[in-house]
């Protein structure tokens, strides 16, 4: 605040709640300028920021025990003195840290696996407070990976409560932060406004904001904590779902699309082009798409099907439906290679028809490009295949009826919005400004967008939109991150595909597996050996891979020609190694991850995945997909380095399940969403508290609730929804292009 501003603030009779909540952190009691700077390093600038600085964890001290009273399988806390610290190596990159804790004459051993850095946190005769589940092993108490609190010897152990654990920065201790948060709660929490209408909170049995905030920082017990967290998780997911529902509603009500009917005659003419019977899944997807396109509102559909499930044919059907009605269609691929492949497939399929196809990628430049753009603009091309270059090219379509985007996961929500705009008509309304604060700014913005993109779309209406992806994504995630889309699923693969046999090979059976592996190689097949990238340092990982390579080259696979591919290789070397493998000069390719290898080799039907527990199930599934391309059945073996019960259970699920979607759901249940399904890669701000793995039930509920609310108040214009509307706009207005945030 400048002195002048301070002056004027002082002259005013009283500050508003919003102004008070914007108080700089250094003015919070007990902070001051020095600590204020430390807080800023944590991203905390104002009192409000501190209130919403959620603990990353808690230490549950509600059940303090003496070692004599320990019980198994219960969350307990124990205070004691560090007696002995021992770090042992248990294999390459593995370790076990044992910390012996004494309480009078009784002992408890705390254990940490593969966290050698914990060693430095303990010194002898320190007082510590441990929380966790104890287990009796060989007559001695152990606690694996307990929470720890280091305390002064004369300090009274905080008991009977749950202590928040905050993210820290150098120079700031947990105790400091706890004090600061307490002060902030005391002074500011009552200034916060509730977002939800009172009746809504009651109906949903959600805690009011202030109560939830107090308990999320200092929960009285685990039950209260769960209630408090639920309130924020629900709010977070609900606001996102509201944003998606508003966007969707806008698209459906305001933007007109051409009504393209699949009459029996059109349908028969299209199907005649396909050289095979469609699968039941393809037929169902086509029915859904045809129904969408037969409405005067734009289709927004995600076609979700595993690699090889035959999505292209479905897309071709939709494109030809548009063409049959005199409209143009666009097919966008994430890479140049895929775009070319699509163009080839289409050209073959449509060789007998009069459909005119163009290919527009970044590689097309100069006169050729001008010429192609001209033909698109004059409506002399029916189907345009290409990459993102289409969006950037200022292509003006004469009459665009359909946009198909292949491999959606490479395109974020924002690119999707841009694409639609590229083919949309400004006159028909953007549909998304429904909740924009004032119609006049909405108007100005519309022009701005058109200028910025350099497009003056000429189509008479908005195009339909079909998005395709092969990434196995769990339902909760699709529902959340693609909440603005309808979904069709291709669950079945076309008949006649080769099976893949998958085995979990335990150490004692490995010699037998390698025997089989060699036999198949001698029959002429090729193989992948996948080694996970386990180390933090890429140098170490590469060394690991090279060691494995040497081991195989001088051991199990001595008699065969081996190739090596990893991320650190210069591109030419990588290409060369790939080329040799494709040409059959090398028989076995040892690689960090086959995903990286990228290209399909039909003769490769064998795969050994070492350290398989390091990969997610969906990822394993995608790797295994590489060996189902040819005329021979595939054989995939997974080895685990660490064969814990949990690992065996997970890998057994992989062996037993061939459905990628099911595996992705299992992944989510067992490992949580991690960054695999992060919101950020979809162009959305990250969640602060929601976890799509844990909170799938809440996510579903929030979605249903949001749909209902938007159906009754599409622009969130009712006074009791004002705060929700502001929140939706400030959080997702930009990412989802909902209109001017003002």
Left, alpha or beta for 300 (phi > 0: left; psi -120 to 50: alpha)?
beta
User: In the 8-state DSSP scheme, what is residue 569?
Assistant: S
Which of 629, 650 has the CB closer to ligand ADP?
629
The answer to whether 398 and 377 have CB atoms below 8 angstroms apart is: yes
Given the structure tokens 């399904």, which residue do they identify? 677
Which candidate, 573, 632, 629, 624, places its Cα nearest to that of 602?
A: 629
* Closest distance of CB 422 from ligand ADP, Å: 23
* Closest distance of CB 407 from ligand ADP, Å: 9
Which of 313, 724 has the CB closer to ligand ADP?
313
**683's tokens:** 């162009």
**Which residue ranges make up the site for ligand ADP (CB under 6 A)?**
276-279, 282, 305, 307-313, 470, 494
Give the span between the Cα atoms of 451 and 454, in whole angstroms. Answer: 5
Give the span between the Cα atoms of 133 and 74, in whole angstroms. Answer: 5
Give the span between the Cα atoms of 270 and 318, in whole angstroms. Answer: 9
* Closest distance of CB 315 from ligand ADP, Å: 8
* Closest distance of CB 282 from ligand ADP, Å: 6
**563's tokens:** 């190739």
**339's tokens:** 């775009």
Alpha-carbon dihedral 47, 53, 58, 59, rounded to 10 degrees:
-40
* Closest distance of CB 314 from ligand ADP, Å: 8
The DSSP-derived string for 172-214 is: --HHHHHHHHHHHHHHHGGGPPPSS-HHHHHHHT---HHHHHH
* Closest distance of CB 198 from ligand ADP, Å: 50
Which of 308, 377 has the CB closer to ligand ADP?
308
* Closest distance of CB 309 from ligand ADP, Å: 4
Given the structure tokens 């002060």, which residue do they identify? 183
**188's tokens:** 């500011």
Residues 6+ apart with CB under 8 A from 272: none
* Closest distance of CB 618 from ligand ADP, Å: 15
* Closest distance of CB 274 from ligand ADP, Å: 7
* Closest distance of CB 489 from ligand ADP, Å: 12
Report the first-to-last Cα separation within the chain, whole angstroms. 23
Which of 28, 385 has the CB closer to ligand ADP?
385
* Closest distance of CB 524 from ligand ADP, Å: 23
Looking at the DSSP bridge assignments, the partners of residue 113 are 96
User: In the 8-state DSSP scheme, what is residue 43?
Assistant: T
* CA-based R_g, the chain, Å: 30
Which of 176, 312 has the CB closer to ligand ADP?
312
Strands 147-151 and 127-137: antiparallel
Which candidate, 582, 581, 586, places its Cα nearest to that of 560?
A: 586
Q: Give the Å distances, CA to CA, from 122 to 77, 81, 283.
A: 18, 10, 64
Which of 278, 741 has the CB closer to ligand ADP?
278
In SS3 terms, 263-313 reads as CHHHHHHHHCCCCCCCCHHHHHHHHHHHHHHCCCCCCEEEEEECCCCCHHH
Which of 279, 605 has the CB closer to ligand ADP?
279
* Closest distance of CB 589 from ligand ADP, Å: 22
Which of 51, 468 has the CB closer to ligand ADP?
468
Cβ-count burial of 179 within 10 angstroms (0-12 exposed, 13-18 middle, 19+ buried)? middle
Give the span between the Cα atoms of 500 and 630, in whole angstroms. Answer: 11
Cβ-count burial of 694 within 10 angstroms (0-12 exposed, 13-18 middle, 19+ buried)? middle
* Closest distance of CB 98 from ligand ADP, Å: 51
Given the structure tokens 């800023």, which residue do they identify? 40
**284's tokens:** 């169902």
Give the span between the Cα atoms of 389 and 395, in whole angstroms. Answer: 9
Give the span between the Cα atoms of 623 and 609, in whole angstroms. Answer: 9
Give the span between the Cα atoms of 707 and 714, in whole angstroms. Answer: 9
* Closest distance of CB 492 from ligand ADP, Å: 9
HSE, CB side, 13 Å, CA atoms: give it for residue 34: 5
Which of 37, 283 has the CB closer to ligand ADP?
283
Give the span between the Cα atoms of 596 and 449, in whole angstroms. Answer: 37
Which of 333, 395 has the CB closer to ligand ADP?
333
* Closest distance of CB 306 from ligand ADP, Å: 7
Alpha-carbon dihedral 628, 630, 633, 634, rounded to 10 degrees:
-40
Which of 412, 494 has the CB closer to ligand ADP?
494
Which of 337, 543 has the CB closer to ligand ADP?
337
* Closest distance of CB 321 from ligand ADP, Å: 17
* Closest distance of CB 290 from ligand ADP, Å: 17
Which of 567, 630 has the CB closer to ligand ADP?
630
Which of 117, 276 has the CB closer to ligand ADP?
276
Which of 357, 565 has the CB closer to ligand ADP?
357
* Closest distance of CB 307 from ligand ADP, Å: 4
Which of 219, 281 has the CB closer to ligand ADP?
281
Which of 308, 379 has the CB closer to ligand ADP?
308
3-class DSSP assignment, residue 442: helix
Which of 611, 660 has the CB closer to ligand ADP?
660
Given the structure tokens 């698209």, which residue do they identify? 251
Alpha-carbon dihedral 638, 641, 643, 648, rounded to 10 degrees:
-30
The answer to whether 62 and 222 have CB atoms below 8 angstroms apart is: yes
């Amino acid at each position: 605040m400048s002195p002048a501003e301070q002056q004027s603030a002082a002259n005013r009779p009283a500050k508003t709640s919003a102004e008070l909540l914007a108080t700089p952190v250094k003015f919070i009691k007990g902070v001051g300028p020095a600590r204020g700077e430390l807080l800023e390093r944590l991203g905390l600038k104002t009192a409000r920021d501190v209130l919403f600085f959620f603990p990353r964890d808690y230490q549950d001290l509600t059940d303090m025990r003496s070692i004599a009273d320990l019980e198994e399988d219960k969350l307990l806390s124990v205070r004691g003195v560090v007696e002995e610290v021992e770090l042992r190596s248990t294999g390459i990159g593995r370790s076990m840290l044992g910390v012996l804790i004494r309480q009078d004459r009784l002992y408890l051993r705390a254990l940490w696996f593969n966290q050698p850095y914990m060693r430095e946190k303990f010194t002898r005769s320190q007082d510590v407070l441990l929380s966790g589940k104890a287990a009796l092993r060989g007559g001695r108490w152990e606690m694996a990976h307990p929470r720890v609190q280091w305390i002064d010897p004369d300090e009274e152990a905080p008991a009977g409560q749950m202590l928040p654990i905050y993210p820290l920065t150098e120079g700031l201790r947990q105790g400091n932060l706890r004090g600061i948060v307490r002060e902030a709660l005391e002074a500011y929490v009552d200034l916060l406004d509730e977002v939800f209408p009172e009746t809504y909170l009651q109906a949903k049995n959600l805690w009011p904001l202030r109560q939830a905030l107090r308990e999320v920082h200092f929960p009285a017990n685990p039950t209260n904590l769960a209630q408090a967290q639920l309130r924020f998780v629900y709010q977070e997911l609900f606001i996102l779902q509201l944003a998606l529902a508003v966007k969707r509603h806008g698209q459906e009500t305001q933007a007109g699309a051409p009504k393209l009917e699949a009459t029996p005659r059109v349908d028969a003419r299209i199907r005649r082009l396909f050289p095979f019977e469609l699968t039941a899944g393809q037929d169902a997807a086509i029915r859904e798409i045809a129904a969408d396109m037969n409405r005067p509102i734009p289709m927004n559909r995600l076609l979700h099907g595993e690699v090889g499930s035959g999505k292209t044919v479905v897309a071709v059907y939709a494109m030809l439906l548009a063409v049959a009605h005199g409209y143009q269609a666009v097919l966008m691929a994430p890479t140049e290679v895929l775009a070319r492949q699509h163009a080839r497939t289409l050209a073959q399929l449509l060789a007998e028809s009069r459909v005119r196809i163009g290919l527009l990628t970044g590689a097309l430049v100069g006169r050729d490009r001008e010429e192609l753009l001209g033909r698109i603009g004059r409506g002399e091309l029916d189907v345009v295949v290409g990459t993102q270059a289409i969006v950037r090219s200022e292509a003006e379509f004469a009459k665009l009826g359909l946009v198909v985007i292949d491999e959606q996961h490479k395109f974020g929500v924002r690119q999707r919005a841009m694409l639609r705009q590229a083919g949309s008509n400004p006159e028909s309304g953007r549909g998304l400004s429904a909740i924009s604060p004032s119609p006049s700014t909405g108007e100005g913005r519309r022009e701005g967008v058109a200028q910025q993109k350099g497009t003056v779309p000429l189509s008479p209406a908005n195009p339909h939109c079909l998005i395709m992806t092969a990434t196995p994504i769990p339902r909760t995630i699709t529902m959340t991150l693609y909440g603005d889309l309808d979904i069709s699923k291709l669950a079945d693969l076309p008949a006649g595909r080769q099976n893949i046999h998958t085995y979990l090979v335990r150490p004692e059976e490995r010699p037998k597996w390698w025997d089989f592996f060699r036999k198949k190689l001698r029959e002429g097949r090729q193989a992948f050996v996948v080694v996970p990238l386990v180390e933090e340092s890429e140098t170490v990982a590469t060394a690991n891979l090279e060691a494995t390579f040497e081991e195989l080259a001088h051991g199990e696979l001595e008699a065969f020609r081996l190739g090596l591919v990893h991320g650190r290789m210069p591109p030419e070397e990588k290409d060369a190694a790939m080329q040799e493998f494709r040409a059959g000069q090398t028989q076995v390719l040892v690689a960090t991850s086959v995903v990286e290898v990228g290209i399909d080799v039909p003769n490769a039907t064998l795969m050994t995945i070492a350290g398989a527990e390091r990969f997610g199930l969906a990822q394993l599934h995608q790797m295994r997909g590489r060996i189902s391309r040819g005329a021979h059945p595939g054989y995939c073996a997974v080895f685990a380095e660490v064969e814990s019960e949990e690992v065996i259970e997970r890998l057994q699920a992989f062996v037993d399940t061939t459905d990628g979607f099911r595996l992705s759901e299992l992944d989510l249940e067992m490992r949580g969403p991690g960054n695999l399904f992060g919101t950020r890669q979809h162009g959305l701000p990250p969640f602060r508290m929601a976890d799509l793995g844990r909170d799938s039930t809440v996510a579903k509920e929030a979605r249903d609730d949001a749909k209902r609310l938007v159906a009754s108040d599409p622009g969130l214009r009712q006074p009791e929804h004002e705060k929700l509307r502001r929140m939706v706009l400030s959080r997702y207005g930009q990412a989802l292009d909902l209109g001017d945030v003002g």
